Structure 1
């Protein structure tokens, strides 16, 4: 093969095994053309696999486990580089350790605090309000114990499925070879017929004085030894708003610094409603602001300076914790993917791929490491499973990235599936879409007289018959549970006629979608007149 040099051989009984040291840059290069020997021919330091998965998160593990079920010999590499603060965690990836799972548990803790307040109105006799306190350390320990249990179960699953697990840092040496440096310094050389890159990403830090030295990210928040206290959250994406929301609900002063708009990429009317609700609960928002510096004071607190980009004024305040949620960067540079010839986006490090296949034929990628794909755990899992089916079972089923539902777990949750109103207007034109909307009153909010002004549902559809639904947006309690069922309906081509002819379950918040009939175009009042209106 042109451009390929074969050097160093290993004598293994009656065969020779070739380890590639240089290689062709061609995207048609296939490892199995050169190395296609069963694993028994390789030493423990030099092993060959049908599939090597780099990254032990949800997508990589799903792909590896599916591949094993189909008879493949699989290895999984996973290594967590310490955060600037020194935080590390176990097998399972971002979702399990520093993402979805601990976030949802702390969100639940916050909701329980609201439920305690509501309980008095429902007749529960409780201690005086000042006697009810939250203990951060108890919550932290409970969350970390749960995470560790998931880490352990994941390790056991890999062992039971006979997947080789390397708790080490992998780097490409060429398109067919990965060198793994274990935590104890021991090295392994792995070759494979196929590779899957599933390393996700890590939080970015702004390039300002003191950010790296004194700031934390979501990598650190869930394992903080001490209560976070007065916290500045820099960034207003879903991670920033979720963290600010549950910290406020747990009783800590929370401030969100917004550079441009909150929840960029989501429906902006809904984003405004979410922010209004958080403000009503006591979260402070600094709009159109960017941080300038973080300085540690003698008492251990942090002086943060920032500028308002509207009037160029500068401000500062003291905080106990500074949490950066300003985006994430894919961990591809650390893998030496350029040595393997894999193309990435220079700014984000994300991999450019079509149907999870990179420009190098036998190297694939799933999950958050992919360019312009939803950064969601269920997406990575589904894509990983389907990829394994295509590689090892000749399946033709591709991952469908359209109409993927998600929920932002702010104090009043925001669930959505489909496209935003802005995206619908841009794609179809304002005259070609219809927007149905309604405010509503959750029955459970009535007795404690909780604020209902931000409970809202919106359906975006085509204007012409049969008025195919393009997007659903829901702000209210249990939004994630509500939107999941409608996501299936969207996959089946839901229309407004079908939605409005569905009999709802009363009294639930999910039924609000089935009762929606007022359009923005009509100018009618979308506020309810009664619980059954």
Structure 2
């Protein structure tokens, strides 16, 4: 039998005993060609270690890789441990997204939207007892509901790992060498395991500024969703998507929210869209302090916090807040892994790992998720990359992760969804003379009766102006932006062109159909504001 055919047949039976039987058969028959030697080495290596795979990190990417590997016959263990935040917040299995990221953020965003809907309901004929303005949100009730949901997800995740025979080790893992991981348990004991392959999936945690009082009195997104008291008047330092989302739902829940912007809003996103999002938030009552940096946080006698900051001219200012939330970026949790023991190289500027096709500079050690340098820090990206990696390691697959044209949404009060390039990046990459930007403001039907502000509802399509007019970016600000942009992201992946987009019949009346109706180019100078709902 040809060696390649034997290998193909063996890989569909990844059971450990089958591996041993196959190895015995190969040795008995004294097959000595090069391919057989490789096969013998492959099976022999899998018997040297306790596990075929150890995953360090119990977040979305690591768990996806672990579960996929088990389905392919690998013996797998997962290390996961949550170091409490400086404020003392901690959580269960599932990583950032489940516990202190996407899930609680979306739930609190939804709570804010429901409050908005209550105030709009009277315009649609609903009889609401009392004045809608008197309706307030109870922070404790909301926080408890969110945390109860998170705990249920933690429990389901644990059960799923057990049912799939993934060994869960609640220990803080670090490298002893490139095949050995040591887990420090809660009681201080150490658990040592060996593995043929190891995946780093530890994600990251929020950074604090190096200023007096920040660690002592500030919180981050690690804390806001389980805060044991109403946040009150809140300063959010940082204008990335986390800062804007937190400020947005806090404002929607009725709290005074201010965003301190060091340089620009939503760095890395299309800046026209980012500024429209910020303008909408300002009109809703969120305050912005532009081009400023905090210098110190001091606790007052009444327990409130005095924040000192400096503006672009070097002048000092101060104000008092109940809560200071830092959202100035995140740092990968790689240093605590002692990567030097395994020879894994990390980048000093951000502690991340450069890993081509998820493989680090050490051949048997891989990485997925937020620890990767210059990769989208998004849960679905980590999950998909983790699954594909496991298939390559244990399923004889060759499919690589495609990190281009990944859609995302900022869950600001008026949501912003996008896929592909922003206008600035498209100009840099292709040249301004080689692209055409189509755009339009639009009027969502549901905004008319309650007379909601629709001045920032806007779509943008960026296309090449060559023969096929391939679309390289799509941007949407409006209700349900995530739901709208998801389908268009599949179209972009299928090389959507502007003529095909224009030939698509829209669903009326929806906001998503505005993409199929857009025709005004920026270069034409025409007014992109519609005159009616159907213009």
Fold-level similarity (TM above 0.5): yes
Corresponding residue for 1:324? Answer: 326
Match of 1:8 in 2: none
Tell me: CA distance 1:301–1:451, structure 2 relative to 1, closer, same or farther (3 Å): same
**CA–CA separation in structure 1 for the residues paired with 2:459 and 2:43:** 57
The 2-side partners of 1:484 and 1:264 are apart by 22
Q: Does 1:63 align with 2:72?
A: no
SS at match of 2:424: helix
Hey, what does 2:109 align to over in structure 1?
107
> Structure 1 33/493 Cα, relative in aligned 2: closer, same or farther at 3 Å?
closer
Structure 1 residues 35 and 174: alpha-carbon distance in aligned structure 2, compared to 1, 3 A threshold = farther
Q: Count the aligned residue pairs.
A: 494
Which of 165, 168, 179 aligns to 2:168? It is 165
Secondary structure, aligned partner of 1:36 = helix
Q: State yes or no: 1:188 paired with 2:197.
A: no
Alignment match of 1:314 (pick from 313, 316, 325):
316
Give a deviation string over 1:117-155, Cα, whole Å, max 9, x none. Answer: 110100111121343111000000000000000000000
Unaligned runs of 5+ in 1: 1-31, 40-46
1:457 touches 1:512 (CA, 8 Å); kept in 2?
A: yes
> What is the rounded CA distance, in whole Å, between the counterparts of 2:299 and 2:47 in structure 1?
57
Give the drift of 1:312. Answer: 1.4
Q: Secondary structure at the match of 1:323?
A: strand
Do 2:119 and 2:133's aligned partners in 1 also have CA atoms closer than 8 Å? no
Q: Residue in 2 aligned with 1:470? A: 472
Deviation at 1:36, TM superposition (A): 3.4
After superposition, the Cα gap between the structure-2 partners of 1:495 and 1:213, relative to the gap in structure 1 and judged at 3 Å, is same
Distance 1:104 1:61 in 2: 21
Paired with 1:102 and 1:69, the residues of 2 have a C-alpha distance of 30
Alignment correspondent of 2:394: 392
Aligned to 2:25: none
Counterpart in 2 of 1:36?
A: 45
**Distance in 2 between residues matched to 1:131 and 1:219, nearest whole Å:** 31
Once the two structures are TM-superposed, the CA of residue 34 in structure 1 deviates from its matched residue by: 12
Aligned-residue Cα RMSD (Å) equals: 1.2
1:225-247 C-alpha deviation (Å, 9 max, x unpaired): 10000000000000000000000
Which aligned pairs between 1:75-154 and structure 2 lie closer than 5 A? 75-126=77-128, 127-154=130-157
For the residue of structure 2 that corresponds to 1:305, the secondary structure is: strand
Secondary structure of the 1:104 match is helix
Partner deviation per Cα, 1:29-74 (whole Å, 9 max, x = no partner): xxx88983648xxxxxxx7100000000000000000000000000
Shift in Å, 1:466: 1.3
Q: Does 1:237 align with 2:240?
A: yes
- Call closer, same or farther: CA 1:34–1:508 in 2, change over 3 Å: closer
* Structure 1 pair 34–317 and aligned structure 2 pair: CA distance change class (3 A): farther
Instruction: Say if 1:228 and 1:521 are closer, same or farther in 2 by CA, change over 3 A.
Output: same
Asked if 2 retains the 8 angstrom alpha-carbon contact of 1:437 and 1:517, the reply is: yes
CA–CA distance in structure 2, aligned partners of residues 257 and 119 of structure 1:
33
Which residue of the other structure, out of 397, 400, 421, is the alignment partner of 2:423? 421
User: What is the CA deviation profile of residues 349-370 of structure 1, one whole-angstrom value per residue up to 9, with x for unaligned ones?
Assistant: 1011000000000000000010
Asked if structure 1 preserves the Cα contact closer than 8 Å seen for 2:109 and 2:249, the reply is yes
Q: Which position in structure 1 is the counterpart of 2:407?
A: 405
Question: Which residue of structure 2 aligns with residue 487 of structure 1?
Answer: 489
Contact map agreement 2:46 2:52 (CA 8 A) in 1:
no
Kept in 2, the 8 Å contact 1:35–1:193? The answer is no
Aligned to 2:304: 301
CA distance in 1, matches of 2:200, 2:52: 14
SS in 2 for 1:451: coil
- Match among 223, 246, 249 for residue 246 of structure 1: 249
> What is the distance in 2 between the residues matched to 1:307 and 1:96?
36
SS at match of 1:190: strand
Is 1:531–2:525 an aligned residue pair? no
Pairing 1:363-374 to 2, within 5 Å after superposition:
363-374=365-376
In 1, the alpha carbon distance for the partners of 2:134 and 2:278 equals 30
Q: In the alignment, what sits opposite 1:339? A: 341
| 1:338 CA drift (Å) | 1.6
TM-score (norm 2): 0.91
Q: Say whether 1:457 aligns with 2:459.
A: yes
Do structure 1's residue 225 and structure 2's residue 234 form an aligned pair? no
Q: Which of 491, 515, 518 is residue 516 of structure 1 equivalent to?
A: 518
Deviating runs (4+, > 2 A) in structure 1?
A: 32-39
**Deviation (angstroms), 1:184:** 2.3
Contact 2:439 2:521 in 1 (8 A): yes
TM-score by length of 1: 0.92
Name the SS of the counterpart of 1:264 in structure 2.
coil
Q: Which residue of 2 aligns with 1:378?
A: 380
Deviation for aligned residue 1:182 = 1.2
Query: Structure 2: any 5+ residue segments left out of the alignment?
Result: 1-40
CA distance in 1, matches of 2:228, 2:174: 33
